[in-house]
Structure 1
């Protein structure tokens, strides 16, 4: 009976199939990283200047606005780390989970921004862009997580016990 390999199973096909979405989201997140960091700094400065900083941070609007900002930074870091290990299915599952969190949390943030600042066309366009980016990031991450899950299952089946010869 063969024991499972202690070394991670590499899947070059997984790296090839997820490369386009990976690079696209990484480059878009790199461009948007500066506004995300600036937005986080503004949110924390606003919370620090407020007399009731804990109540402000717990407020639903602050949570809905700060969650996509923070998860976007985490998604960018996860995609950057995935560039170093593009053939490891477990790394794909973890990295695309952060991207999915960003995508799912940015849709309510865009809707809230559209509801509060919907008078000006610039903010409507920005809100629509955030909602589209969130939906696209969610779709790409779900697809790539599914590919990584199938790759991980395939590698577990290959490293299982050898079939008996009877």
Structure 2
């Protein structure tokens, strides 16, 4: 079981890491103010300091309330399994998109999510997967002119 205390500390750790990465990224840049305005590292440096400070506050507050927070369950075994049932297909979509392109990965994700997670009929999942994928293609590629990651299938169909 994941309790609130551990979750708060994990969140503080992630935010601290993001802040530290921001500091590292802005270290090679000028972080001051020039005659023409802020220099390249001005905002990243300050946002990173704020993130690190916020992470420290979250960690201190969690530590001070650890007795109370440790008694608050955030997720149990059943809830964790539900999260995995949605999360694993998303990770699969990201992996598949690298090889087959975003549109194929999106269609496969929707089909798996609707059929496996949602328990709907295969025909329903296929119709939604193809419809949403086609609509996404039209909106991004045709209307907005934003090309998304293509794979061999899109190239074979002349869409790549």
TM over 0.5: no
Structure with greater strand share of residues = 2
User: When the two structures are superposed, what TM-score results if normalisation uses the length of structure 2?
Assistant: 0.35
Rg larger in structure: 2
* Larger RCO of the pair (alpha carbons < 8 Å, separation 6+): 1
Higher helix content, 1 or 2: 1
